[in-house]
A and B are shown apart, each in its own frame.
Chain A
Amino acid sequence: NAGVTQTPKFQVLKTGQSMTLQCAQDMNHEYMSWYRQDPGMGLRLIHYSVGAGITDQGEVPNGYNVSRSTTEDFPLRLLSAAPSQTSVYFCASSYSSGRVAGNTIYFGEGSWLTVV
């Protein structure tokens, strides 16, 4: 019963390095998204996808790339890490859009990223 799996759980990067946060779900959900959570600011949407091959930007997309080659996987790439990207990152998935009654959104357990 895996749900949404994120790796790594913790990562320390140096400024300018690149890395990929992995996200996988085993529920055959079409909708997947990445959020970042900063103290006092709640969660903010970085990128989202409504199906394999389809991605779009959220509120705070700068400095991040995504791709969706399969239904299961939605990796988030940091192109050139900056201290402002120090945050907790959450991947989420759901079977439909937020309008649909009873649509449950499942979150991964988060990836703690520190950029020094």
Chain B
Amino acid sequence: KQEVTQIPAALSVPEGENLVLNCSFTDSAIYNLQWFRQDPGKGLTSLLLIQSSQREQTSGRLNASLDKSSGRSTLYIAASQPGDSATYLCAVPRMDSSYKLIFGSGTRLLVRP
């Protein structure tokens, strides 16, 4: 059974720092991995989707990497800003039913001015 883990649960950094968020999954047979952002009291917004054949995806200051063999993905945020403060979740679709997503519990990020 696929399990997705995100450590740490919370992270606080000063503005301007580069940071890495981690996502681990137990079954390396995945179609893709998605990173989402969730602001307090809001829904989830898709940030990046990495297909299983890809190693990296970039969007602005965000870079997501995928290493299937080790069951890990990282989300790199460059030059962090207070506006980046949010909870970041990763998710993978189930192999037997790809419209079912399995989510990690998220990392709550605070970027201090």
Contacts and interface: CB of A to CB of B under 8 A. Distances in A.
Interface of A: 4, 31, 33, 35, 40-45, 48, 50, 58-59, 90, 92, 94, 97-99, 101-110
Contacts of A31: 99
A41 B105 contact: yes
Interface of B: 4, 9, 31-32, 34, 36, 41-46, 49, 51, 89, 91, 93-94, 98-101, 103-106
24 contacts: A33-B99, A40-B9, A40-B105, A42-B104, A42-B106, A43-B89, A43-B101, A44-B103, A45-B101, A58-B100, A90-B44, A94-B99, A98-B100, A98-B101, A99-B32, A99-B93, A99-B98, A101-B49, A105-B44, A105-B46, A107-B45, A108-B43, A109-B41, A110-B41
Nearest to A90: B43
B43 A4 contact: yes
A110 B38 CA distance: 11
Q: Which 8 A-B pairs have the closest CB atoms?
A: A98-B93, A107-B43, A42-B103, A42-B105, A99-B98, A98-B98, A107-B44, A43-B103
Given A45-B101, A107-B43, 8 more contacts: A4-B43, A35-B103, A43-B91, A98-B99, A99-B93, A104-B46, A105-B44, A109-B41
Given A43-B89, A101-B51, A105-B34, A110 B43 contact: yes
Contacts of B94: 98
B95 to A, nearest CB: 9
B99 A50 contact: yes
